[in-house]
Amino acid sequence: MTLASSPVGRRERNKQQKLDRIMDAARELFAQYGVDEVTTQQIAEKADIGAGTLFLYAKTKGELLLLVQNDAYAAALDQGTQDAAAESGVVEAVLALIRPIVECNRAQVDNGRTYLREMVFGDPDEPRHREALDIVAKTEEVVATTLQRAGGIEEIRAAASARIVSAVMFLSMAASVNVDSSVDEIIQQIAQQLRVLLPPSTEGRG
């Protein structure tokens, strides 16, 4: 490493360390109190940085929530992708895929619902919102692949059906009527709709 590159490396490391502290602080406070009850000042103090520094990484509390939740949702999707691979029935495979996402969303219900609102209504050009939308797109891609593999559904129809599955899942998690619903209850609701969407002849096909 040259002397000229050393300061850049240190700056990047310092930025990453601050970002890690911000994420840890936001994650802990949001989990403990809920996003609506936490202020950006509390997060800055817990991360041991100034409020001005915090705003360099996230300008709003919604962006901070996205910063934390995007990682969690991406990990849940990875887990669901692995779980779905072990299922041969198309409905079972899709349910295995989305269960970790529902579990992630319901870990703190108010946070999960706020995250979905930020995802849908936030500025798509803002990096954290764009990352959230990328997760939605990746979810639809994985659902479509699962429908093709487990259900023998053609590519074009699988892609269209995947968008419907994604909409059903996110609406089920966001709906006010489901605020008190458990993960199993939401999965059951989604399963009922999947069985209407997916022809019976596709279930159980390899």
- pLDDT of 199 strictly over 80: no
**Ordered alpha helix ranges (H), the chain:** 6-33, 40-47, 51-57, 61-85, 90-106, 109-121, 127-151, 155-174, 183-197
Q: What is the pLDDT of residue 26?
A: 93
CATH number at residue 165: 1.10.357
Q: What is the pLDDT of residue 196?
A: 93
pLDDT band at 8 (very low <50, low <70, confident <90, very high): low
Please tell me whether residues 124 and 141 are part of one structural domain.
yes
Q: How many C-beta neighbours within 10 Å does residue 2 have?
A: 5
Please tell me whether residues 117 and 195 are part of one structural domain.
yes
pLDDT band at 205 (very low <50, low <70, confident <90, very high): very low
Please tell me whether residues 48 and 147 are part of one structural domain.
no
- pLDDT of 193 strictly over 90: yes
Q: What is the pLDDT of residue 200?
A: 63
- pLDDT of 14 strictly over 90: no
Q: pTM to 2 decimals?
A: 0.84
Please tell me whether residues 34 and 112 are part of one structural domain.
no
Please tell me whether residues 2 and 70 are part of one structural domain.
no
Residues of the chain with pLDDT > 90: what percent?
A: 74
pLDDT one-digit tens code per residue, 103-126: 999 999 999 999 999 988 888 899
- Pair 103, 185: CB distance under 8 Å: no
Domain containing 165: what range?
A: 60-202
